[in-house]
Amino acid sequence: MMILPAEKLGFAVALVIASLSAFSLFVELIVSMNSAFGDGLTQEELTGSLGNRKADLLIKMIPAVVTTETLDNGQKPIIEFRLFDSNTNQSFSHVTYYIILEKDGKKLFYDMFHDHDGDLKIQMNPNSSGNITITGDKTPILDLWIGTSTKPVAISGPIFLSGGLYHFIVRIETVDSDTAILPDNQAPIYDSWLSIGNTENQQIDVDGKEVPIKIISYYDKLKDFGFDTKNMQLQFDMPFNWNLSRLENANIFVHEEINVPKPNAFTVKGGYTGTVNGVNISKNVMLDNSNSKADVIHVMLPKNDLLTLADQIIKDGQALSGIMSFTVKPQEGSSMGSMPSSNSSMSTGPMS
C-alpha cells in the first residue's frame, strides 16, 4: 500500500504521539515506583489500637532517599513519628513515644519523646563522635524530650553511619494527657524497620575502559562485588535470612539500585536480566533510562516474590548460607518487568 506524503506525516505524528505516550507512561511508572518503592524502606504505617480507637503509627524518613553517601555529604534526615486514628486521620494529642533504636541486634539508643500534637520529628545528625547525645527542650513534669518547629529535638552521634536496616521499637506511653501513663497491657508497641541505603562505588572494566558504577542497597550491606568482563555480568551478595516463617510474618521488600553511566558496551543493549541465587528474577529488574547519562537499574523483590524465591532456595539447599546472591547482565531490548504486585506499604525487613 502506498503511503501518501500527508499520510506519511500523519503516521509520523501518530508515531511520535505513541512514543511520547509510551515514554510518559514509563516515566509515570518510574515516578510512582519512586514514591512507593524507589527509596526502599523509608516509611512504614503500622496498625494498632488504643481501646476502641484505631491507633496507627506512621514512621517516615525525610527526605525519602537517605544513603551512606548522602549522609557523608552532610544530610541530616528527619524521622517523623505520627500516631493517628486511621478512621479519622486525626493525630492523637499529648503522645509520648518511647523509642528504642537497634541495629544488628545492638541497642543504639533509647529515650522518651513527647509531642503535644502527636507528630514528633527527630533530626538525626550522624557523626563519628563517641557518644550519642540528644538536644532539645524537655517537658517540665516527666522530663521528656520535646521538639518544636523552631528547636527540633536532635540526636547526634554515631548513628546511621552504616547502611542497612535500622530497627525502631516504639511504645506509646501517653496519649490525651501528658501524664496519663498507659499501663503495660494498654500501651501499643510497634516494630518498624527503616533502611539507610548503603552506597557501594565500584569500577567495572567494560571493553578495556574503567566505568564507575554505584550500587545502593536499601535492605542490607552488600559484599563480594564482582564483574565478569567476558559475560558482562555484575554480581554481588547480601546477607539474608531465608527463613520462610520469618518472611511470612514480616513486612519486607528488597530493593537494590545500580547506577551505570552510559553509553558503553554494558548499557548499549538497553535492557537487563537478573538472577538471585541462580533463580531468574528478570521480571523484577526495572530499568529507569530517563536519565540520558546513566542507566538506573532497580532490582525490586516484593514479599510475594521473596516467598516464592525462598521456597525455591530452601529446596535447592542454599538457604543455610544466609546469602542473597545477585547477578545482573545486559540483555537485548527492554527487560523492564511489570511493576511488582507487592503491597504498597513498602515495608521493610524482618519484624520478628
Partner 1 sequence: MILAIAPLLYPKIHVANAQNSINKTQIWLDKLNNIKVEFTHSPENPITDTPTELKFDVLNLKTGDRLKNLSARVIILTSSNGEESFYKYTNITAPAGIFSERYIFPTDGVYKVLSKIESKDTSALTLASFPVFVSFQPVSAMNSNMMSQLFLIALLTGIAAAIVIAFFLFIFRRRRKEKKQNL
Residues near partner 1 (CB under 8 A) are 96, 98, 107, 110-112, 141-143, 169, 171, 173-174, 179, 181, 183-184, 189
We find the least distance from the C-beta atom of residue 192 to partner 1, in angstroms, to be 15
Structure-derived torsion over alpha carbons of residues 129, 132, 137, 141, reported in degrees to the nearest 10: -150
- Judged by beta carbon, residue 64 or residue 142, the one nearer partner 1 is 142
- Closest among 192, 184, 150 to 350, alpha carbons compared: 192
Minimal distance, residue 343 CB to partner 1, in Å: 27
- Find residue 299's DSSP bridge partners: 256, 285
Q: Give least dist CB 184 to partner 1, A.
A: 5
Question: Among residues 279 and 351, whose Cβ is nearest to partner 1?
Answer: 351
**Assigned C-alpha cell, 319:** 538457604
Q: Which is nearer to partner 1, 179 or 231 (CB)?
A: 179
CB of 188 to partner 1, least distance (A): 11
Q: Report in angstroms how near the CB of residue 100 gets to partner 1 at its nearest.
A: 8
Beta bridge partners of 57: 46, 83
Q: Shortest Cβ distance from residue 179 to partner 1 (Å)?
A: 6
Supply the minimum distance, in Å, between the C-beta of residue 167 and partner 1: 13
Give the nearer residue to partner 1 in terms of CB position, either 58 or 169: 169
| Of residues 157 and 302, the one with the C-beta less far from partner 1 | 157
Contact 81, 44 (CB under 8 A): no
Three-class DSSP category at 313: helix
Backbone angles phi, psi at 14, to 5 degrees: -60, -40
Q: Give 189: exposed, middle or buried? Use CB within 10 Å, 0-12, 13-18, 19+.
A: middle
Look at residues 352, 346, 351 and name the one whose alpha carbon lies nearest to residue 61.
Answer: 346
Q: Round to whole Å and give the CA distance between 296 and 194.
A: 22
Query: Which is nearest to 153 in space by CA: 131, 141, 126, 135?
Result: 135
Which amino acid would we find at residue 192?
S
Q: Alpha-carbon distance 46 to 57, whole Å?
A: 5
Nearer to partner 1, 169 or 244 (CB): 169
Rounded to 5 degrees, what are φ and ψ at 145? -65, 140
Q: Which residue's CB is nearer to partner 1, number 142 or number 314?
A: 142
